[in-house]
């Protein structure tokens, strides 16, 4: 069984994703260290083959710098890196969108784009999921949008996100893609 490390600041997402991936016969660890500590990341990377991140809204760029320094310094060979970020970071949301806990949207967008650039340039299999507004709710049909494709300002339930992450891992799909994801209303 492959080991998955979830690095997340969103407990609702973490718990649901963890349950879904565990049910698919993966070993799941949840990162418990300092998000801004390369040493803490190195301590958590042993035998990890897949990483799922749900970081932000703020300082994701700083956390990704430390995380990828740890990955490269430890010479970890990942099978898949999944970054869950926010829809709208590529100006693809029709009518724009608001972000809770964000007062400086320009800085927030720069941080998210920089974190995504780190992932894109790391030369490892990755998937970037640009999620709609995360909400409670049951899984429902998800519509995916390619990078650069306009998408609506819809929500995405935590359950639907967990299903998408699990499917992406188990089917090895969406490799080296950035996909927008929202529930169909």
CA distances from 150 to 46, 58, 104 (A): 39, 24, 23
Question: Do the beta carbons of residue 61 and residue 35 sit within 8 Å?
Answer: no
pLDDT band at 97; cut points 50, 70, 90: confident
The rounded distance, in Å, linking the Cα atoms of 77 and 110 is 28
Tell whether domain 3-183 is in CATH 3.40.50.720.
Answer: yes
Which of 85-89, 107-111, 138-142 is predicted least confidently? 138-142
Domain boundaries along the sequence of the chain: 3-183
Token pair recorded at residue 10: 């969103």
pLDDT on residue 24: 93
The percent of residues above 90 in pLDDT, for the chain, comes to 89
Question: Model pTM?
Answer: 0.96
pLDDT on residue 180: 98
pLDDT, one tens digit per residue, over 37-88 is 999 999 999 999 999 999 999 999 999 999 999 999 999 999 999 999 999 9
Q: What number is the average pLDDT over the span 151-178?
A: 96
Q: What number is the average pLDDT over the span 84-110?
A: 90
Average pLDDT of every residue of the chain? 95
Question: Do the beta carbons of residue 154 and residue 175 sit within 8 Å?
Answer: no
């Amino acid at each position: 069984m492959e080991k998955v490390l979830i690095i997340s600041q969103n407990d609702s997402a973490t718990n649901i994703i963890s349950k879904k991936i565990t049910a698919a016969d993966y070993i799941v660890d949840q990162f418990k260290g300092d998000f801004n500590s390369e040493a803490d990341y190195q301590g958590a990377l042993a035998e990890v083959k897949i990483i799922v991140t749900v970081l932000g809204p703020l300082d994701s760029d700083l956390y990704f710098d430390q995380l990828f320094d740890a990955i490269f310094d430890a010479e970890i060979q990942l099978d898949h890196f999944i970054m869950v970020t926010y829809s709208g970071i590529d100006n693809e949301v029709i009518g724009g969108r608001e972000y809770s806990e964000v007062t400086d949207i320009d800085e927030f967008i720069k941080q998210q784009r920089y974190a995504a650039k780190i992932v894109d340039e790391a030369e490892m299999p990755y998937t970037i999921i640009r999620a709609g507004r995360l909400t409670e709710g049951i899984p429902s049909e998800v519509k995916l949008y390619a990078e650069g494709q306009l998408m609506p300002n819809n929500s995405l339930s935590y359950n639907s996100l967990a299903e998408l992450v699990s499917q992406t891992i188990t089917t090895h799909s969406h490799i080296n893609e950035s996909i927008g994801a929202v529930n169909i209303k």
